[in-house]
Structures are given as structure tokens and as C-alpha cells.
Amino acid sequence: MRLADRVNRITVSATGAVMAEAERLKSGGADVVDFGPGEPDFPTPEHVKRAAVRAIEQNLTKYTPTPGIAPLREAVCAWHQREFGSDYSPAECIISVGGKHAIFNAICALINHGDEVVVPSPYWVSFPDIVKFAGGEPVFVGADPVNAFRLRAEEVENVLTPRTRVVILNSPNNPTGATIEPEEFAGIVEACRQRDIWLLSDETYAHLVYDGLKPFSATQLPDAKPRLILISSFSKTFSMTGWRIGFTLAPEPLVKAMTKLQSQSTSNPTSIAQHAALEAARGPMDFVAAMRVEYERRRARILEGLRAIPGIECATPDGAFYVFPNVQALLAGRASDTTALARQLLEQEHVIVVPGEAFGAPGFLRLSYAVSMERIEEGLRRLQRFFTAARAAS
Ligand code: PLP
């Protein structure tokens, strides 16, 4: 079939393919340990669910303004101010169908054919494809595993050219969990400011940080605001992935352009989900704190278990809910790459992991610890068995 070039430029999300395979095996009754999930395993908080039920009962089920209902845009600005001390008005806020949609709209609103967009690598799978869809060229900047994947300003500066239009930052990062240290972040802001480059800060995981780190937003850097596109989401912070609510805080002309785009594609996000998000934004944050404590406990256990397997090296992630071990040393004589290794793990041990190639990082695997402690223990047992057998065979 003849398809449009813009569709041929992109590929299906690699993590989506893993989830589909997990579903297929599970529906066949297999006892699968699934380290694939990119979403919290906690239910959406009760008060948020009740708000959605109320919205249905009150017939709040019609079209809303394209950028979202006014109370939600106000509540998002107020929430962000409470959490990070930022100063945005509803005219500088647009609600979209998840953070992914917000990133898609922002990139499509800014990028012309041939524009370069800096993407930190290892990267979240959708960044390069969204850039390519818009006609831009992703330029990768590799964070050093030796520095626990923490991106440095100098590394970003080295890849900037006169064609660079946007720099994407993602702290904490998916898949590495690494954060960018505030001084380095400030250095990147300054480099962008000097060259009139937009900074797109994807803060989807900002609240999921450990070891006493405080949630950080680029809005805390004094010079960032004029060129900052801040994107975040209710998905991970409030365990609301399926509700599809994300938002952008950015200068008003860009918000207007994104609203125009949204008005001719999805229109408003679901009215019911917006009312649920309103409750989440206005409500208590203790649920988030409890989730963070549990993730931290699991992170410690999965790191300990992985590091006990000879040949595996794993940096300590600062945040999100992923570990990103280096398994390069265990590939020899076993698998050509981590995609082949992940397939073997699935077939032989019914363990699902995401291969590093999906994130531009061959030799690594991504394991999510948004799964119960009991499943983590079972998964570690199987990984231990798999890799011990692999060593014996090599
Ligand atoms: N950004 C990153 C780094 C992510 O990992 C994800 C989801 O996995 C998103 C954005 C988008 O999430 P959502 O569209 O559910 O808000």
C-alpha cells in the first residue's frame, strides 16, 4: 500500500511491541514476569476516580474548550507553583491527551523540514520518531554510563549547530532513571538562551526521585522561562496512564499554536478525565509520597539482585521506575544483541524486558520495577538461572 512519507519515516513504538507480546503470552495462561511496564502498578487514587464518576453523573460529558477546561488549567498552574514555585497563567497552559500528545504538538508546532532537535541518548522511544514525523532530524547526545548517564552541559553544547531548533531534556530519564544535575541543567539553559534555541523539558517523572533528591523543574532556573516548553503528565505522578491527561506550560504564542493544532486533530481531551485530573491537581500529594517510598524499596532490591549476577553492571538510577543494566559481557556466545537476548529470555524464562536497541543503547536492557516485590523476586530468580546457564554454555 502506498502510504504518506511522514508515516513511512516512523516506526511502531518498540515498547508497545513488548507489551503486545506480554499480553499474548498472558492470555495464553503463561506465568509471565513482566519487567516491561512503563506505568505504575498502583490503582488511580480513590478521590480521583470518584471525581470522574461525579462528572458522569453531572453530565459533564460534552465538548470542552480545546486547551482544556478553565478550572483544570488554573489548577495545573497552581499545582506547579505549589510544587516548584513557578509562575504560569492559564493562557500559558494547554491540556493534551497525555504527555506524549503534548510533545507531539509542541514539536509539530515548531519544527520545519531540516531543523535539528537534540535528543539525549539513551532516549525515550518516541522522541526521535516524533521529530522525524515533523520532518526534523534528531541529533543524539550520549550520556556517559560511567557518569551514571547524567547528562552534562558540555556534551549538549558540543552538538549544537545553527540548525538546532529544540533541545529535549528528560530528567529523570526513561530508560536510565538518570537526572540532570541543576548546575548542568542551568548550563544547558544558558547555551540555549545564547543561541535562541527552545528547551523542551519532559518532566513526566519529576516526582519520582530517590535518595533524598527533591523533585526538580526547569522552571526553578531563573533564565529558563522565555524559551522553555515544560511538559508533564498525570500518568506517572498520579498513576493515571489510561486517563490520558498531560499538559504543557510555555509562552502564550506557542500554547496558541499548539491549541490550533489540537483543534484540528483531537479537539479537547476527554471531559471526564479532565475532571478527574482536576481533583488530582487540587488534592493531597500523600499518595505520591507513598508510591515513591515503595519504588525506592523495590529499586534497592532489584539493583541488589541484578548486581549479584556475574557480568551484569548496573548504575544506580536517581528516579523514574527503571533500571538499565549493562549486559554486554553476557552476550558473547549467547545472542547477537539485546533484542535477541530479550527474545530468549521471553521464550525460555517467560521474563519480559525491553532491549536496549529500542532506546539507542545496544548492550543494555530496561527493567521496570513498577511491579510487585513478589514478582521482582521471582523475576530475579529466573534471571539468575538464565544467565548462569548462559555462562555455563559459553
Ligand atoms: N515522556 C516520557 C519520558 C515517558 O516515559 C512517557 C511515557 O512512558 C511519556 C512522556 C508520556 O506519557 P503519557 O503520554 O502517558 O503522559
pLDDT in tens, 233-258: 999 999 999 999 999 999 999 999 99
Which residues on adjacent β-strands are paired with residue 230? 201, 249
Region 198-220 average pLDDT: 98
Q: Separation of 317 CA from ligand 1 center, angstroms?
A: 17
Backbone angles phi, psi at 231, to 5 degrees: -120, 135
Query: What is the sign, positive or negative, of the torsion defined by CA atoms of 38, 298, 247, 96?
Result: positive
Q: Separation of 311 CA from ligand 1 center, angstroms?
A: 31
Average pLDDT, the chain: 95
What's the pLDDT tens digit per position in 136-154?
999 999 888 888 899 999 9
Of 109, 154, 153, the C-alpha closest to 133 is 109
3 state SS for the chain: CCCCHHHHCCCCCHHHHHHHHHHHHHHCCCCCEECCCCCCCCCCCHHHHHHHHHHHHCCCCCCCCCCCCHHHHHHHHHHHHHHHCCCCCHHHEEEECCHHHHHHHHHHHHCCCCCEEEEEECCCCHHHHHHHHCCCEEEEEECCHHHCCCCCHHHHHCCCCCCEEEEEEECCCCCCCCCCCHHHHHHHHHHHHHHCCEEEEECCCCCCECCCCCCCCHHHCCCCHHHEEEEEECCCCCCCHHHCCEEEECCHHHHHHHHHHHHCCCCCCCHHHHHHHHHHHHCCCHHHHHHHHHHHHHHHHHHHHHHCCCCCECCCCCECCEECCECHHHCCCCCCCHHHHHHHHHHHHCEECEEHHHHCCCCEEEEECCCCHHHHHHHHHHHHHHHHHHHHHC
What's the pLDDT tens digit per position in 252-280?
999 999 999 999 999 999 999 999 999 99
Compare 99 and 391 and report the one with higher pLDDT: 99
Share of the chain above pLDDT 70, in %: 97
Is the CB of 120 inside a 6 Å radius of any atom of ligand 1?
no
pLDDT of residue 24: 85
Substitution site in 105, 235, 354 for ligand 1 pocket (most atoms within 8 Å of beta carbon)? 235
With a cut of 80, say whether residue 20 has pLDDT above it.
no
pLDDT of residue 391: 62
With a cut of 70, say whether residue 18 has pLDDT above it.
no
Is the CB of 235 inside a 6 Å radius of any atom of ligand 1?
yes
- Pairwise CA distance, residues 122 & 269, whole Å: 30
Region 14-26 average pLDDT: 73
Substitution site in 76, 126, 179 for ligand 1 pocket (most atoms within 8 Å of beta carbon)? 126
Is the CB of 170 inside a 6 Å radius of any atom of ligand 1?
yes
pLDDT of residue 390: 59
pLDDT of residue 41: 94
> Please, which pLDDT band fits residue 15 given cuts at 50, 70 and 90?
low
Q: Separation of 359 CA from ligand 1 center, angstroms?
A: 14
pLDDT of residue 21: 75
Label residue 327 exposed, middle or buried (CB < 10 Å: 0-12, 13-18, 19+).
Answer: buried
What's the pLDDT tens digit per position in 329-383?
999 888 999 989 998 999 899 999 999 999 999 999 999 999 999 999 999 999 9
pTM: 0.96
pLDDT of residue 143: 84
Region 115-122 average pLDDT: 98
Closest CA to ligand 1's atom 7: 38
pLDDT of residue 11: 86
Of 145, 377, 108, the C-alpha closest to 261 is 108
What's the pLDDT tens digit per position in 32-85?
999 998 899 999 999 999 999 999 999 999 999 999 999 999 999 999 999 999
Q: Separation of 330 CA from ligand 1 center, angstroms?
A: 30
Contacts of 209-213 with CB under 8 Å at 24 or more apart are 209/172, 209/179, 209/292, 209/318, 209/319, 210/292, 210/295, 210/296, 210/299, 210/317, 210/318, 210/319, 211/296, 211/316, 211/318, 213/179, 213/318, 213/319
